[in-house]
Every structure is written in C-alpha cells, then in structure tokens.
Structure 1
Amino acid sequence: MAKHSSDEVFDETNNEDSGVTATLCNWIVGLEKKDIPDEVLERAKHLILDGIACGLVGSHVPWSEQAVDGILSYEPEGQCSLIGYEEKLGPLAAATLNGGFIQATELDDYHSVAPLHSASVVLGSLFAAAQVKNVKVRGFAFNGQSHEVLEPGRTVSGIDFLIAAIAGFETGPRSGMAIHGTDLLVRGWHSGVVFGCPAAAAASSKLLGLSAANTESAIGIACTQACGLMAAQFEGMVKRMQHGIAARNGLFGALLARNGYVGIKKVYERKYGGYLNMFSQGNTKTPRYDVREVVAGLGDVWHTSRIRFKLHACVGGCHGLVEAVESLQESYPQRFSGEAFSNIKSIKVGLSETIFHHDGWAPHERPLSNTGSQMCAAYISATQLVDSQVLIAQFADSQLNRDQVWELVNKTTCHHDAQFDKPNHQCGAHVVVEFDDGTTVEETVQMPKGFDPPITNEEIRGKYRKLAASVIDQERIEKIEKLVLGIDQLEDVSELLQVLAKPTKSAV
C-alpha cells in the first residue's frame, strides 16, 4: 500500500480540487493487514477490549436502561445484538445503544488533540454492521428494468473486523485535526460526535466492502448529519447517547451507499457547505481549517496508537486535575484528611482554554446530574479530595448531594492557564490550595498518566478485568479477552458478539 505525503500531493491549504476525500477513501478501501504495523494491530485489539469493558459496565447503568426501555417501546425486533441484553434490534437502533453503552460512564478512550471517544463510535457501528444480513441491493436487468437482489447472509472474519476498526480509529482524529481539534469544545460543540460520524462511516464502509466511490458517499452522508451540542453535559442524559448517535449516522451512510445511494462528494474540501468549512466557522485560527490534515501521513502516522485510555471515571480533560489533587494528598496527608477540610480557605484550579470552557464552569444547582458531576472540574476535584478516587461509584445518585463534597466545591474556582494550551498538555492542571492559617500548597501536572509514555497493553488488560469483574463472571471475562486478543485469528466475529449479548448486572 503506497504511503501519501500531504506536502507532495497538495500545494494549497484548502484547495477544493485537492482530492483529499477521494484520497482518504482509496486508502480505506485498499487497507490490508500487511500495511499495518504489528504494534498498531495489537493496540487496536486493546482499544476494542477497553471499549467492550466500558460497554459491559455501561449497558445497565440507570440512564442506559432507560434508553433501552424507550427504544424497545417503538423499535421492532431486528437482527443485531446489544451488549448485555437478550433483545435484538435493527442495525441503526443497535448502533445507537451499543455506542451509548460504551460512552455511558466516562471511562472510555479519548484522543487528546482531536477529542472523540473512538471505541463508542467505531464499535457501535461495527457490531451492527457485522450482523447486517440479507440486505436488498437494487440492480438492473438487461432490459433496463429495475429489480432487487436479496444478498445472502455473510460471515465477517475477525481480521476484517479489526482492519475496519483501524480505518475508523484513523479517520476520526484526522477529521478533527483538520479543524483544530479541541477548538470545537471551546465553542460549545460536542467535538467527538462531530468527528465520530465520518469515523463510523469509514469503519462501516470498510467492513461492508464498499468501493471507494461508495465510501465517499457514506462519509458524505455521515458528515451531513454531524452535530452535537455540549450543553448536553449539564442536566440531561443525552450526552451519554451522542457518540452512539454518531455511530448510527456513520452506519446509516454506509448502508445507504452500499445500495448505490449517492452522498456528498468532496465533503472535506468543499468550501460552500463543506464539512471543514462549516464546522470551523467562528474560530479564530489561521487558517480556520487545513484540509491536508485529513490525509497527512496516511500509512505512516497511526492515530490508533495515539488514542488515550482513561484511569478515572470523569471527563478526560480533568485527569490532570485528579492527579494533581492526588499528589497533594500524598504529600500533605494531615492537611487533606477529612477532619482538616474545614481549614481549607480556597482551591484555585488552572486549566487549558479548552478544558476551562468545557469543565471549568461553576455549578448552578445542587445536586448536579450524574453527567454534570463528571463534567465539572470543581466537583471532580472535591470528589477526589473526599474519596481519594474518581470511579463510577462516586457518581451514583446517592453520592451527589454530600455536604462534605459541596463545601469543597463551593471553595473552588477555575481559571484559564495558558501553559496548558500546548498540544498534548490540554488535560493538565495547576492546583493551588490556601488554608485558613495562610499556608499555601500547589501542584502542577503537565500531562496525566498515560500520555508519555502511553498506558501499556498490560495495564489496559488490568482495567478490562477490573471493570468486567463488576458485572460478569470470571469464565465470561476470560472468554471475551481471549476472543478479542486473538480476533485476527477468529473465523467468525459473531462468536464474540454472542458472548457480549448475554445479560449483565448493574455496576451502579
């Protein structure tokens, strides 16, 4: 597979005739196992394993169960399975729910430069795409009369599934980096949902065996549906579902394009109504977008290896904050014990511009919702102080109105600290705590754990086992891990999907 250099191919930043969308689609269609380094293949397996762990835990939290109840009330039975449920639904509904399950507890992966939760959009779409069978494909007889052909059921191999996942893992961050990644969060867009639509379309198109032209249509159909409002992080449940909606949108594009339905062409490079031009409206960058980023380093630079793994059950941008507070607790145990919290006068938190806008807001109600509490820097900091951990249990309904936590929340203010605006530092934090006796202590974390060096595959497996043990039995834990880590040898991926579809218990 030939590698592409954006500097060799494109001489203008945003040339409408650059062929960027077509170049990406040709690369997706031609991608083979031999083109992918072994370490990238292995990392992709662990991304899938981590996503499954999050989906198993997230499938039966209250907001996921409520979503399932709502969708089952109007959706007919289908052929696609759900993580943790015996019921089956049509592909679009299944993609929405499975993607939502993976994102349901804020424990899933994220890309730090072009923020999106890759497993939720990619696996959400692929689990459904792998089970789409007996599809009616429109064709034409020799006399010009249209007819429909019922395509027989098919078997999806594990290696095909893995390569399709990598196509999605690569497409999402590239789509985001072309419009300055984190800038969408500053302006109130839910960036991962915007970047997730073409990622899901790329993955689904690859798995369904679409041509380059049809893949371009699929991505165009996905991009015209792209949206996501970050106001979803405050009161409601829908923030959990939005990456699932992106998974649905990408799969929808691929299924339509599979039947020859023509989508937007040149969707990345079009200036009037194009994806990059429209979603960059209102930013202050120069240039506002750079279409070359979509294909920069294809076949050489692998974003699959740059996706981050979460160790705390909160928004990724606050992981540096959690670790700064944790460091202060370890350094000054007497000052940060429960009895001494009343002696804290103020807590000042410095965050990057992106994370300050996203998570530095002052709580406007008490208690916060489950979602809002995981997106509020002041609440996350207070939770770490009180519980010495930020895990799923900290955000259960019974924990959201504790006086001790709220006394610390009310002493906390956040501000923009420009030192964290550098690439890969945007999830860092500077914490200053002042006490009644005039003493001040502070801590800075430039990059949370797992940035440089990244979290190891062994640590990811440990996270999977810990999360899975809270909702399923040991035999099933071991079987899923064996199937995923050996997925490139798996003849039929439905074997994995069947194990995932068995009921699970609630983790909350």
Structure 2
Amino acid sequence: MLGEFAANTTYKDIPEEVLDRVKTDALDGVSVGIFGSTLPWVRLAVDYWEELGGAPQARLWGRRSKLPVPKAVLSNCHGMNSFEYDDTYVWSGLGTHQGNNVVPAAVATAELVGGVSGKDFVAALAVAHEVGVRVIKGFAVKRAGYNHTAISSTFCAAVAAGRLLGLDGEAMTWALGSAGSYVGGLLTIPPSSMVKRMVNGRAAEGGVIGALLAKRGFTGIENLFEAERGGYYGGYAVTPDFDVVVGDLKRKWYCVNIHTKRFPMCTSIHAPLEAACEIVRKEKFSVNDISEIVVRTTTGAQGNTVGFFPDTISSAQLSLAFGVATAILTGNVRPANVTMEALKDPKIVRLMNLIKPYKDPELDAIWSGIGGPARVEVHLRGGKVLTSSQVPEATRMTNAEIEDKARDAAGPVVGKEQMEKIIEFFRKVEKLDTVDSLFPLLQPDS
C-alpha cells in the first residue's frame, strides 16, 4: 500500500500548504548542504569519494565536480547533515532529520534523468517526506539504541528517486524493500566521532540504490514492513503502529509539520534558545551583572543536553548550557557562533557555569517527548529577575526567514548573485517546465 501511494500520488493530490512547506524546506536543505561542504569533516570524506571517481552523473554541492548518483547523494547528504542545521520532524520522542535524504536524492536523480518538470520535482519532495514521517510515526514503542533518522529516512530517498525514475507501484515497493533490508545506524554519539554526521548519507545512498536497481527490475522484500520475523518493524520496534503508517493516505499529510531549524543546535533546546533571545531583545542589561540563569524545560528536553561540559563542536551543539550562554551573550546562535574558539571564550564559559537547568513539572504536564516548552530567567545582582515568556515549542520560520538563513549559509560559498538565483528558483519551481537550471547554481561560480 505504501509503495502504491508513493508511486501514484499526483501533484493535484497534495495540499497547497504541503507544497509550500516542501519548497522552502528544499531551499533550506540545499543551502545548508552547500554550507556543510566547506566543513573539514565533510571535505575529508568527499575528497576520498572524489578520488574513487566514477560516472559524472550528478553535481556535488559547493564543489566543482560530479560523481555517480549514489555517491553524489551520499556526499550532499553528508554536507546537509554536517552541522545540526538541517530540517527535523519531532514526534513523541522520535526525532528525524529526513530532509537530508529527501532533497539530495531528488536533486541528484532529477539531474540524472534530465528534463524533470517543476511540479514532478515538488511532488517527489512531498511524497518522499510523507512516507518518511509515516514510517517514523509507526514506532509506537521504539527499540532503543538506533539512529532513527538513518533507519527511517532511507525510504524517503528511495521514494524521491523512485518517483523521478518513473517507478510504478510494484517497482516502488521493491525499492522500499531493498532500501530497508540493508539500512542501519546506531545512536551512540562520541563527541570526537565524525561518523554521526555521515550515517544519514549512507541511508540516502542505500535508498537511491534501491530505486535505481528497481528501475532495472531488481526485486526487493515486498512485505518488508509487516514481516514478523526479520521485518523492518519486527527488528527496530518493540510495538509498531501500522494504522498510522498507512491510514488516511492522501487525506492526512503529516509532513506539513516539517521543522526548519533557526539554530545549528539540537532541536530539544530550540525553545530555550528562543526564550533567551527574547530576553536579549526586550531587556537592557550587562552580562557582567548576571548572577544566575535558570532554564525551565521539560524532562525530555534534558535527556541528552545537560550533565556535561562541551569540549567539541559536536558536543556544543547538544549542550543546553552552551546554547543558552551564546544566546544571552550574542542575541542569537548562528554557525559563526559555534566554534572551538567560542568554547574557550571566558565570557561564554562564565555564563555556562551560571546556568541552572530545571525540569519543570508544569511543563511536563502539557508536553510529552523530547523538546517542548521552555522559560528562561536571568537573575541579576541586586535581585532583579528578567523572565521570558513561555515559548510553547520551537516556532516555525517564515519563508522570508528561511530565505535569509539560506543567504547566510550558502551565499559565501556560491556568491551573492548566484544565491539569489537559487532563492528565485524555489519561489517559482512548480511553474518551471524543467528544473535543470538549478544544478549548476549549486556549485561555486567558476
């Protein structure tokens, strides 16, 4: 049933709100991926894949080369997932960053095929996202220890590629069955490890390979999801919920709630960061006068964000203390604020030591799972307390804010003029006869 939905849903079946959401999400995705291409842990891996070479089928974002589609998808997903800045979908304790599979797979496959219309491209994005969200929501009770982006988003890549390759329902089911049969990803994240940034790329590569092989008639596991012995949910879930996976297809679109990140930080602490930024905007005070910073969150928001002092960029991006300290000092948290130098900044270190995280029972009463509402209180010497409003959850960015984020992230790599062309492309993509004009824009102007 999921394969039939993935193959046969048309552009007209998709609500306008969903179409708009996936367009801006794709702009965000390519921009974050272009930014990520400049980072050392991305360059290290992509340099090696370039050395291996192969058929020049699809461009590498932020670079001047091409690789076979699976390796281009792996490379571009690696860049997109490289700095905690790509999109997310959070539901009942399961977070996933599926856009880093959807967007690279759709872009690379569209380049391979050539002549893909704007409507077909956007429809592929929407349907791929929806399949991914439904798969992650199928975990009524998850089995601990897995990276749920990796084990669920591979199906997004298979669907995005499969639609643009023209797979029918049967072949799409084969693509899903192949992708799911060799996906993997562990949750353990040592702060010094680079592989956390790459594991989703391997999932995307596998999904695309599943679609490319299905196009050639290569059969996959047709009952992958429901098989009790050795099936997908049989292996990864304690309790699955098949009703949510296939219920109300074409009538209910969960992917409309894809979340574009304001900050290059773990989603669990975005509400506290917004609360801290609000205080800086509205109040006049000196950071030298701060005596204590109380951060009230849900219990779930502190699961992996407190109890350690960050000493790497990766650990800083998970740190409630570092994020709030940076927001209080600078009024924002941007990629330029998340550096090894910032971790050693005496002002940041002092503020981190003043932060007191508090698991607030009142917030727990209105929210379950990771993330959720937050309040921040800045205590000043002399007794004055500056209090934020209660941020109910990380707020949705407007289209204009997403475009500004894209300019900030990718503009320095591709140039200001080229960046504006990328933004304009996504504004009108559904009206284009072909999306071929996008591909050269994703590389630096030579």
Same fold (TM over 0.5): yes
User: Structure 2 vs 1, CA of residues 383 and 169 (structure 1 numbering), >3 Å: closer, same or farther?
Assistant: same
In terms of mean alpha carbon deviation, does 266-275 or 438-447 score higher? 438-447
Which of 108, 122, 132 in structure 2 is aligned with 1:128? 108
Compute the displacement of 1:437 (Å): 6.2
Cα distance between partner residues in 2 of 1:73 and 1:85: 14
Amino acid at match of 2:95: P
1:395-438 alpha-carbon deviations (Å, 9 max, x no partner) = 12332222222233234354544534726883332445566767
User: Structure 2 vs 1, CA of residues 425 and 230 (structure 1 numbering), >3 Å: closer, same or farther?
Assistant: closer
Amino acid at match of 1:458: A
1:314-335 alpha-carbon deviations (Å, 9 max, x no partner) = 112211010222234456533x
Which of 303, 306, 311 in structure 1 is aligned with 2:257? 306
Compute the displacement of 1:440 (Å): 6.0
Amino acid at match of 1:164: A
Contact 1:46 1:460 in 2 (8 A): yes
Name the structure 1 match of 2:201.
244
Matched, 1:381 2:338: no
In terms of mean alpha carbon deviation, does 85-94 or 319-328 score higher? 319-328
SS in 1 for 2:188: helix
TM-score, L = length of structure 2 = 0.90
Cα distance between partner residues in 2 of 1:338 and 1:456: 30
Map of 1:399-438 to 2, 5 A cutoff?
Answer: 399-414=342-357, 416-417=359-360, 419-420=363-364, 422=367, 426-432=371-377
RMSD: 2.7
SS in 1 for 2:96: coil
Map of 1:93-112 to 2, 5 A cutoff?
Answer: 93-112=71-90
SS in 2 for 1:213: helix
Contact 2:151 2:183 in 1 (8 A): yes
Contact 1:425 1:447 in 2 (8 A): no
% identity of equivalent residues: 27
Contact 1:383 1:394 in 2 (8 A): yes
Name the structure 1 match of 2:246.
295
Cα distance between partner residues in 2 of 1:106 and 1:331: 27
Contact 2:153 2:204 in 1 (8 A): yes
Matched, 1:163 2:106: no
User: Structure 2 vs 1, CA of residues 86 and 196 (structure 1 numbering), >3 Å: closer, same or farther?
Assistant: same
Contact 2:322 2:352 in 1 (8 A): yes
Contact 2:21 2:258 in 1 (8 A): no
Cα distance between partner residues in 2 of 1:373 and 1:414: 16
How many equivalent residue pairs? 442
1:16-58 alpha-carbon deviations (Å, 9 max, x no partner) = xxxxxxx111111111112122332222211111112212222
Map of 1:197-216 to 2, 5 A cutoff?
Answer: 197-216=154-173
Contact 1:82 1:94 in 2 (8 A): yes
Structure with a larger share of its residues in helix: 2
Cα distance between partner residues in 2 of 1:373 and 1:466: 21
Name the structure 2 match of 1:360.
306
Cα distance between partner residues in 2 of 1:226 and 1:445: 40
Cα distance between partner residues in 2 of 1:272 and 1:87: 43
Compute the displacement of 1:108 (Å): 2.0
SS in 1 for 2:57: strand
Matched, 1:465 2:411: no
Name the structure 1 match of 2:175.
218
Contact 2:289 2:381 in 1 (8 A): no
Unmatched runs of 5 consecutive residues or more in structure 1: 1-22, 134-153, 282-287
Name the structure 1 match of 2:266.
315
SS in 2 for 1:170: helix
